[in-house]
Structure 1
């Protein structure tokens, strides 16, 4: 369990380190692969069900396409009816105006889908028609179902069942299968309103063409019935009308929209029903189960091919999408690298609208941050300068007091030459200590300060210790903050040499390593246990020097305040043998405020 958890954490760490483009591409591809693997496994485990689902989806798409095409066809007929009614009939007076020309024009424009257009009075009298102009003598228009429906419900549009329209005189003796669209209209005669019927006969060939094209695809067949279950179109309607073939159309007309499993004449089949708006007609798709199983073997091969192609295409598509998404973000990321380096970084503001807005927002934020940073830097400079000055101010009073006390003691003892030499060394020490108010001096000056300090202490501690300087050539030119060696020497003398009777040694070494500079102060005094070493840089009371009053912690803090927390003091000690205090500084010849970690 722990092994899997560790591996999971390693994987998460690896993923988090990758670029966005890689993550998007891999994520999309993995999602696609997982989906395809599941699909492939499902297809391999149940080919029959897969084939059924595939055929079902195909037929559902086909039936949706039939509905769209049929709706377009019917809406076109409705627009023709609306155009005739609202643009012609309602604009004329039947007593004085003739609408035959408008009917002829409307018919000519739409003759590919129309058989005839006619307008009747509420008594069944023909007012005008195109392309024919008279009704058969033995035909009673008022008995026609399309006429009666329109007359009874004047406000609605009415679509009839499929029938042969033979009410008009036809010179060529040819009659067409049609679906009639009828509606009640208001006729104006000498300013008076009366009822009428507008008839638009749709050529059934248009509907047949829609269904013939669809039935040429896929498995099974699609037919059309009205709300009463009467067949409007069936690919085998001649056989059905001649009672040579049966269809479950009456039951299908009672189905709501959806998918049904049924058994008809001993045959299991899947039926999909879709209702056509405005008419109540139902599109019925029938797929026999035996046809679904005929392509069992080909379905297996097709599934494998589809999975392979889909994965391949998905990989390329995912890569393309990932590049399109990640490239502008990558440019924006690269432009953000200038923040903190350039005073005015060139923020990328291309790509999509969202990325452009993000770039503009970041630019505005960078400008504000730059102003705030400048203010903070100035405040921090003043604050740290005050901190350094406060730490520095601890040195001079204590050290001067102890040194002047020693000079006074020499004068009282009439050791005038020693007193003069000590005053001379003190002068050199104070010159470097003051440094015209500067905190930064050269390593050479700091080492000279250490020599002057040791000269003074040697007068006070005759034969107590001997000092040795091991200085790398050329190191004097580098820069350091002042008065960091003296406290180390004080601690070496007061704690290392105090209880020794001669043979005390203090070694001062200065050397460089790479980009770092080190100054070591080593004494062969009593040393100290590790517990005390660990407290030296964290506690005040036990680590203050008896000489200047400034302890190792003070020096450590001053170095870190200026150069950063990666620099400072390192202490190693062995009881009864030695103590080494190492100063770690950056190797630099020029130091300007603001460089490095927390520098001023």
Structure 2
């Protein structure tokens, strides 16, 4: 057995599955199904023919039972002397007629719903004293021209009549001439009982038949069928018009009763549908099930043992590799697909070890250098300040203090001290909005001291966001840029407006000046340099803030620049209320 297993392990998986299929599936199923087919086909078709005959017999019996109710009612009315009195009497006034109608005809109409096969009653007469309505109709030329009128003159028994000209899909009537009592022969009297088409449809539609039923008249035309695909109600269709092959089983029942001698019930079933059913003999099912289950199970179990055990070992080894135990798989002696997989695993393991030693560590060192470089850049960005601003401010204070002895110098020096004090704490990455506002106020007061009435400003801040944390010195460079590059070149009436508000989960900073502005070309050049991270020369403050926002917020911040030559500039920044980095 062990040698067989080793030999089998050298086979390819495709060949193994092919052997399993032939021995366990193909051969058993072919022989068992062929044997079953020979044993059951003939008996199955014979049983189906018997079932069809039973269904057609059932329809025939129910059809007769349905019409028997109408025939019975016809006989009752045929012998009812009150009906003859009503139909043969000459009424002196309409009131007399209505009273007689309510006493006789209305009573019949009231009892009609008790017969589920009857739709309504119609009494035909040529009595001129009648008011024709409510089931009583005159014998007009239209009635005389009806086919059934000629037939009723030739027979004294009730008969079934199918009206092919009616708009209803099925209308069958029982017609009888009322002439039992010879004393009542003043006028012609005819009874028509219209049968309920719903009851007929129920007879044909409530049977279990894997085919269709047809009711034919004396000419072979279809009177009614339960075939939904046949539009027999729209035009005359004969059963002979249907395309019936030799595979169709046709069962006919000519209605032998005196009243049905012109009608025929036909059942048509396509025997091809029988072969789609999975009908099995119980004794053979058990035998074939045992053969199709036990034999394949044994063979598949035997053949899959090598696959299962060896794949289990491979899987356990792969889990070790997942835990970074890069050891080679030891069982590689076989030549099938599993053996090839184990060899590839070993090659992969050696390659991983090599990549881990040569590449992974080098990448770690590279990433570490990149992180240090980014941190150095961030520290450099945070530590930059415009020296021209400090120089100009100190020079202005010195000159004003020299020529004048004003107290406001002390306040300016206090603002300068605040800015220098903040410079000592620029190592902090995040500060509240309130801290940034102090620096903005200090800077604007110093600029207002420098420019005098030339500069005015307005700051509006939503109190709800003053405690929100933002990157240090993220707004001040834009205030400095608006003052120096926007307002300073003006001769008078310079104004800066600052608003800091909150919008859902965003902080919105907007600064507007009425300075010299920029042309469209200058604006496009600045935006392009920001996008491509190029050096911006004198706009280094904007560049520094933009890069810091990009480092902190990635794509979650928005920067918008609106400017027009000689009309001023507006800058809007939208950042999340919570920082991505902590």
Provide TM-score, normalisation by structure 2: 0.38
Provide TM-score, normalisation by structure 1: 0.37
Of Structure 1 and Structure 2, the greater helix share is in 2
